[in-house]
Amino acid sequence: MIISKRPRRLRSSEGIRSMMRENTLSPQDMIAPLFVMEGKGRREEIPSMPDQYRLTLDELSKEVKDLWSLGIRAVSLFPAIDEHKKNSKASEALNPHGLNQWAIKEVKATVPEMLVMSDVALDPYSSDGHDGLVDPKTGEILNDETMEILAQMALVQAEAGSDIIGPSDMMDGRVGFIREALEKAGYKNTMIMAYTAKYASAFYGPFRDALQSAPKKGDKKSYQMDPSNVREALREARLDEDEGADILMVKPGLPYLDVISELRRQTHLPIAAYNVSGEYAMVKAAHLRGWLDENKVMLEMLTSFKRAGADMILTYFAKDAARFLNH
Ligand code: PBG
């Protein structure tokens, strides 16, 4: 048979396959989200996220050393705040001596070159479990009233040494508001990674277990995006870019690869994908049942983000993937 064009020629050995490879994954592409809690010498496994832990600060320090030695260059911190410290104003978020700020300092003291990303949203600190203030009469999530707290949070975190502020709250105008506050306070090099297209997703379930931060009433649909929309993501991206974001993020990752590739075409800013808790839990659950090969699925999944156009990936697989890639 004469078949002049045979794509299989270019797949016939690992040598040619490796030259043909359009996208690669390395430890430096990944940001490891880490959960922290009060106390000493303890790590508590999160039931819906096997192999992920809430860490006390001394354990955080060990984890960060491990990650650094594996080639991971950034972590994103999420504090599990004690229930009695939560209130409707999320005031613990602004405590310069709060857990989150200690965690930032701990990472910087352990490995100064490790980039620290910190989260700006009220939910871990709010007795209502919402990312913004809640109107006690109507239940509305108050946009403008939340803004001042978000900006103060960003300043407290920048002061503690955070390199990257991650507003995950989806309030309108917050990137610009935070940027202005940082500029005025002299934090000219503090980056903002905007949660640009953050969808109202059921894939955040395990994360909310980890922080016990699920909304007490209602859902997040009046601020997080409708999973059916993509043009709306482009609009959010333009706004975040205009307001001074340094990096744009799409979240969740896997069900929104089309949004990543669409954004890739529309912006010159770097793009991050957040491979969220539910995406992690699905793979772990299937692996524990012997239904799929965890490592292979993990690498395929992470590579799909690069192929879609993401420059970096927030993923609970960071450590496992780095280990695998280093071998
Ligand atoms: C909260 C926040 C959430 C996540 C990151 N920041 C949950 C939410 O919006 O309810 C989810 C991350 C994950 O699922 O891995 N502002």
Write the DSSP string, 93-143: GG-TTSHHHHHHHHHHHH-TTSEEEEEE-STTTBTT--SSEE-TTT--EEH
Q: Whose CA is nearest to atom 11 of ligand 1?
A: 204
pLDDT of residue 89: 97
Ligand 1 neighbour 204 (Cβ under 6 A): yes
One-letter amino acid for residue 327 of the chain:
H
pLDDT of residue 24: 96
pLDDT of residue 194: 98
Active site (annotated) includes residue 40: no
Short-list 68, 97, 93, CA closest to 79: 93
Residue 69: pLDDT band by 50, 70, 90 thresholds? Answer: very high
pLDDT of residue 67: 98
Short-list 98, 173, 100, 178, CA closest to 142: 173
Residue 205: pLDDT band by 50, 70, 90 thresholds? Answer: very high
Cα 204 to middle of ligand 1, angstroms: 6
Ligand 1 neighbour 208 (Cβ under 6 A): yes
pLDDT of residue 279: 98
The ligand 1 atom at the shortest distance from the C-alpha of residue 121 is 16
Short-list 240, 299, 247, 298, CA closest to 273: 247
- Mean local confidence (pLDDT), 300-304: 98
Contact 118, 76 (CB under 8 A): yes
Residues 198, 220, 284, 306: which is the catalytic one? 198
- Mean local confidence (pLDDT), 14-38: 97
The preferred substitution site among 117, 131, 169, 249 for testing ligand 1, maximizing ligand atoms within 8 Å of CB, is 131
One-letter amino acid for residue 293 of the chain:
D
pLDDT of residue 126: 97
Active site (annotated) includes residue 251: yes
Residue 271: pLDDT band by 50, 70, 90 thresholds? Answer: very high
pTM equals: 0.97
Cα 305 to middle of ligand 1, angstroms: 19
The preferred substitution site among 118, 276, 279, 282 for testing ligand 1, maximizing ligand atoms within 8 Å of CB, is 276
Residue 192, φ and ψ in degrees, nearest 5: -120, 120
Residue 154: pLDDT band by 50, 70, 90 thresholds? Answer: very high
| pLDDT digit string, tens, across residues 44-57 | 999 999 999 999 99
| pLDDT digit string, tens, across residues 228-268 | 999 999 999 999 999 999 999 999 999 999 999 999 999 99
In 118-135, which positions are buried (b, 16+ CB within 10 angstroms) versus exposed (e)?
A: bbbbbbbbbbbbbbbbbe
Residue 129: pLDDT band by 50, 70, 90 thresholds? Answer: very high
